[in-house]
Amino acid sequence: MRRALLAAAIAVPLIALAITASDGQVLDTTNFSSTHGNISFVNADQCSGKDSLHLEWRITALQGSAFGVNDQVKIFASDLNPADSNNNGFCDEKEATTPKTVHAGPIGTPLQPATTLLADRDVPHAGADIKGATTIDCATAEGTNVFICAHWYDSAGTTKKGLAVGTFQIQTARPDAPVAPLEVNAGDGKLFVSWTAPAGGAAVDHYVAEAYAPGQSPANPAPDNVPASTATVTATSAEIRGLANGTPYDVYVRAFSVGGNASDLRLGPVKGTPAAAANFFDVYKDRGGSEAGGCGSGSAGVLALLGAASLLALRRRRP
Amino acid sequence: MKRSLLLVSLLLSTGPATARGESPRIGSFELGAGPYRPSIDAQAGLAEPLPYQDVFGKDRQYMFRAGISRAIFTFPGALEVGFRTGYFRNSGHGYQKDGNGNLTNIRSAETTTFNIVPTSLTLTYRFDLLADRVGIPFAPYGRVALERYNWWITGSSGAMGKKGATNGYSATAGLAFLLDFLDSGLARELDLDTGINHTYLFADVTKSWVKDFGSSTSWDLSDTKRVSFALGILFVF
């Protein structure tokens, strides 16, 4: 029983950390925010087609639907909320003109469901396909909601058997770069970094502080140059850990919006060299201190405890 | 002379508290705090700058204490044997080390902490007859204690640097103000509901000698002040 409770105690936080679509939901595993109304974001790189969306869904079956071996899942995108349409909760699958202009269309080729649960995880879809399906103009669509639907069809691709829907917000605006001074202080195997938040641009959701080893630079992007270590924080200070003492690193900081749009410019570089640190006892010994640690005259303390315990015991024996 | 005899007669005539309708007294519980700074820098021969001040600065930090005691007798006055413990913490910055492990003169951004859990075996006498019988709401008290300060030092990322224990003794003199005096009805209700006979606010001064009885390999964790001052609240139950 105890083991089970322990396992549950460990598992609960792990489950809470994982991003998992609930029944009837589609989300982006890299850009989903439960603190912004349970929506996913389509950022500038995804909208321009540079990056893919990583979709996950869990389809709710319509009543009476049974899984068939050759069933298929089709993905659609629309700028009309299925909940508001007269299309039985489905994303419209073709462009319509009533009750208002609707842009909708299929994305990619049909997929065969991975399991009978009709749940799929991290299925990449090109951002450009979503843009194409909804005819969204990334330059002017800031803040616009689009809806991505996963429809479960029979093997013929004609009968709908279930669906999942997700809200995705176009967010292409970038925060301004963090503001100097960028302060870098040496820690033991790490660097303590602090900066000032930018005043303009999109709201900052988080910062990424990067430490590049000598000869490496963000000017030559991955895979050629990658930071030795990074730290992602929401505050304007960070500890970049996992660094080698004695190595001079170049530190940069970049701001990100909630949708994952990075500031165009990085703040930095500022050099920092991690170094082993002396604690108070090291300093004390360095100055000639004689304390050796351990329990000193420990036996005296034990004797005192025994003496007091004896006193209490004698006291209890009285009527 | 006659007045003195009358006062003594009044104090002793009514007997123990239980005879006056209070719940039986078993002991007491106290919470207190006072500024503290160990005398580590007082060790002869330490090089400048002195290490404790260099790392933690000049300020005194608070030491918090809690104690529980069992009464040996409660009349006249209360003699109690007890156990106290508490916590003290100070934090600062050490220095960077070079590639050979020697200290440089560059301050490290890493935090180092000095932590103490002081434990004491105490013998306390509290003269509470005046408060109990005459209506003077003050109870002077004295205490002697055997002290054992368990300490540890942390360095980078909270890593344990060194730990140990230093023993000693202390003597305390204090004055407790009986809060029951302000609302005796409420005090009686508290006794009926919880068994707490009396509640005091106290202030005391302590002279401590915590340096392993003069051991040459121990540092001095006695307070840097001639006497240390503490305030707290005491429940007699």
Contact predicate A251/A184, CB 8 Å: yes
- Point out the least confidently predicted range of A4-18, A184-198, B112-126, B204-218: A4-18
- Using an 8 Å Cβ cutoff, are A40 and A19 in contact? no
Look at the alpha carbons of A67, A70, A75, A76 in this order and tell me if their dihedral is positive or negative: negative
Query: Any chain A CB within 8 A of the CB of B89?
Result: no
Say if strands A160-171 and A39-43 run parallel, antiparallel, or are unpaired.
parallel
* Lookup: tokens for A263: 């500031």
Residue B79: band (very low, low, confident or very high) from pLDDT cuts 50, 70, 90: very high
Using alpha carbons only, how large is chain A's radius of gyration in Å?
A: 29
User: Whose CA is closest to B14, among B71, B76, B78?
Assistant: B76
pTM for this model (two decimals) = 0.74
What local confidence, expressed as pLDDT, does residue B82 receive? 96
Whose tokens are 């207190």? That residue is: B32
CB contact under 8 A, B51 and A297: no
Q: How many angstroms separate the CA of residue B140 from the nearest CA in chain A?
A: 24
The pLDDT tens digits of the residues spanning B170-188 come to 999 999 999 988 888 888 8
Question: Could you give the CA distance from residue B85 to residue B68 in angstroms, rounded to a whole number?
Answer: 9
Q: How many CB pairs under 8 A join A and B?
A: 160
Mean pLDDT of chain B: 90
Residues of B in contact with A294 (CB under 8 A): 164-165
pLDDT of res. B6 = 47
Q: Please tell me the distance in Å from B5's CA to the nearest CA on chain A.
A: 32
- Counting every residue written for chain B, the total comes to 237
B164 with A188: Cβ contact below 8 A? no
Task: Give the pair of three-digit tokens for residue B204.
Answer: 């005391």
Residue A163 CA to residue B31 CA, distance in Å, equals 62
Q: Do B217 and A276 touch (CB under 8 A)?
A: no
Closest CA to B109 of A253, A278, A242: A278
- State the nearest Cα–Cα gap between A246 and chain B, in angstroms: 7
Q: Is the dihedral of CA A286, A287, A292, A295 positive or negative?
A: negative
What is the distance between the alpha carbons of residues A188 and A37, in angstroms, rounded to a whole number?
A: 40
pLDDT confidence band for B85 (50 / 70 / 90)? very high
Take residue A43 and report the two structure tokens written for it. Answer: 């950022």
Q: What is the mean predicted confidence (pLDDT) over B124-148?
A: 91
**Amino acid identity for residue B71 in this structure:** A
3-state DSSP assignment of residue B14: coil
3-state secondary structure A86-114: CCCCCCCCCCECCCCCECEEEEEEEECCC
Q: Which positions in chain A touch B103 (Cβ < 8 Å)? A: 278, 282-283, 286
Nearest to A198 by CA among A264, A129, A286: A264
Tell me the two tokens of residue A268: 């930095």
- Nearest Cα to Cα of residue A150 among A126, A171, A124, A120: A120
Residue B81 bridge partners (DSSP): B70, B123
Question: For an interface test with B, which of A279, A290, A297 has the most B Cβ atoms less than 10 Å from its Cβ?
Answer: A279
> Would an 8 Å CB–CB cutoff place A194 in contact with chain B?
no
Name the closest residue on chain B to residue A307, using Cα atoms.
B121
Spatial distance between the Cα atoms of B94 and B155, rounded to a whole number of angstroms: 8
CA-nearest of B43, B25, B28, B50 to B221 is B43
Which position has the token pair 């870098």? A184
For residue B186, the model assigns a pLDDT of 86
Q: Tokens 């869990």 sit at which residue? A: A58
Residue A191 tokens read as 């660097």
Bond before A124 cis per omega within 30 degrees: no
CA angle A103, A108, A110 (to 5 degrees): 110
Residue identified by tokens 């006249």 is B76
The pair of three-digit structure tokens given for residue A1, joined into one six-digit string: 């029983």
Cβ–Cβ under 8 Å, residues A163 and A137: no
In this prediction, residues B23-31 reach a mean pLDDT of 92
Q: A302-308 long-range CB contacts below 8 Å, 24 or more apart?
A: A304/B121, A304/B146, A304/B148, A304/B167, A305/B121, A307/B121, A308/B81, A308/B83, A308/B121, A308/B146
Least reliable range by pLDDT among A183-197, A203-217, B7-21, B124-138: B7-21
Q: Between these two residues, A218 and B151, which has the higher pLDDT value?
A: B151
Q: Does A273 touch chain B (CB under 8 A)?
A: no
Query: Measured between beta carbons, which residues in chain A are less than 8 angstroms from residue B161?
Result: 279-282
Nearest chain A residue to B150, by CA: A295
Query: Which residue, chain included where needed, has tokens 């205490």?
Result: B143
Give pLDDT, residue A12. 39
Residues 6+ apart with CB under 8 A from A117: A58
Q: Shortest Cα distance from A83 to chain B (angstroms)?
A: 51
- In terms of C-beta density within 10 A (0-12 exposed, 13-18 middle, 19 or more buried), how is residue B216 classed? exposed
Residue B120 corresponds to which tokens in the numbers above?
């004491």
Q: Do the chains contact at A300 and B81, CB–CB below 8 Å?
A: no
Among B97, B113, B165, the residue with its CB nearest the CB of A298 is B165
Give the mean model confidence (pLDDT) for residues B3-30. 63
Q: Which residue has the higher pLDDT, B19 or A123?
A: A123
The per-residue pLDDT string of chain A (319 residues; one tens digit each, 9 = 90 and over) reads: 444 444 444 443 433 446 788 888 999 988 888 888 889 999 998 888 888 888 888 888 888 888 888 888 888 888 777 776 555 555 655 544 454 455 667 777 778 776 666 777 778 888 778 777 777 788 888 888 888 888 888 888 888 888 888 999 999 999 999 999 999 999 999 999 999 999 999 999 999 999 999 998 888 766 668 899 999 999 999 999 999 999 999 999 999 999 999 999 999 999 999 999 999 999 999 999 999 888 764 455 555 555 555 555 555 444 4
Q: Across the interface, do B167 and A284 touch by the CB < 8 Å criterion? A: no
* Shortest Cα–Cα distance, B175 to chain A (Å): 25
A277 closest CB neighbour out of B47, B155, B212: B155
Specify the length of chain A in residues.
319
- Looking at residue A268, its amino acid is G
**Secondary structure (DSSP) of A122-163:** EEEEEHHHHHHHHT--TTT-TT-EEEEEEEEE-TTS-SEEEE
The confidence score (pLDDT) of residue A317 equals 46
Asked if B54 has any chain A CB less than 8 Å from its own CB, the reply is yes
- Judged on CB neighbours under 10 Å (0-12, 13-18, 19+), A241 is middle
Our CA-based measurement puts residue B8 at a distance from the nearest CA of chain A, in whole angstroms, of 28
Instruction: List strand residue ranges (DSSP E) for B37-102, in order.
Output: 61-73, 78-97
- First vs last C-alpha separation in chain B: 35
3-class DSSP assignment, residue A17: helix
